Chains A and B, each alone.
Chain A
Amino acid sequence: KQEVTQIPAALSVPEGENLVLNCSFTDSAIYNLQWFRQDPGKGLTSLLLIQSSQREQTSGRLNASLDKSSGRSTLYIAASQPGDSATYLCAVRPREYGNKLVFGAGTILRVKS
């Protein structure tokens, strides 16, 4: 059964720092991996989608990498801002389950001004 783990569970950094969020998964047979952002009490906003054949995706200050063989993904946030404060979730789409996603528990990020 696919399991997704995110480390750290919470992170607090000063504004301007570059930071890395980690996601690991137990089964490398996936279609893709997706990073989401969730603000308190709100829904999920998709940040980046990495196909299983890709190594990384970039959007603005965000860069996500995927190493499928080792079951790892990282989300790199450059020059963090207070507006980046949110919970970040990663989710994989396992080949075993077709169209379903398996989520990690998330990393709560706080960027202090």
Chain B
Amino acid sequence: DVKVTQSSRYLVKRTGEKVFLECVQDMDHENMFWYRQDPGLGLRLIYFSYDVKMKEKGDIPEGYSVSREKKERFSLILESASTNQTSMYLCASSFHGTGGASYTFGSGTRLTVV
């Protein structure tokens, strides 16, 4: 069964900490994405990557960075966590190119910054 795996379901971090959220996919997908989901705001794209070492900003990249050293792994980094980054974080992957690629999502990481 193909899947996208997020390393942590729940995380509690302190303000100012550097936080790493990890995502691994086993489908050989070129594209990987990080979204955050907040009540009333829906899903918003933070960053995405279409190849190893390639990244593009999404709609809300401020306060975040990403790393993609291997095709299967996409990391989201909060350089200095703040309380307004408390949220549900969702990783997704898909094949690259035009047309009908389906997106597969991970189970999510609920991050609380105190």
Contact = CB atoms under 8 A, between A and B. Distances in A.
B90 A44 contact: yes
Nearest to A53: B100
Contacts of A51: 99-100
A45 interface: yes
Interface residues of A, number: 25
A60 interface: no
B108 A42 contact: yes
Interface string A11-31: 000000000000000000001
B103 A103 contact: no
B100 A43 contact: no
B45 A104 contact: no
Interface of B: 4, 6, 31, 33, 40, 42-43, 45, 48, 50, 58, 88, 90, 92, 94, 96, 98-108, 110
Interface of A: 31-32, 34, 36, 41-46, 49, 51-52, 89, 91, 93, 95, 98-101, 103-106
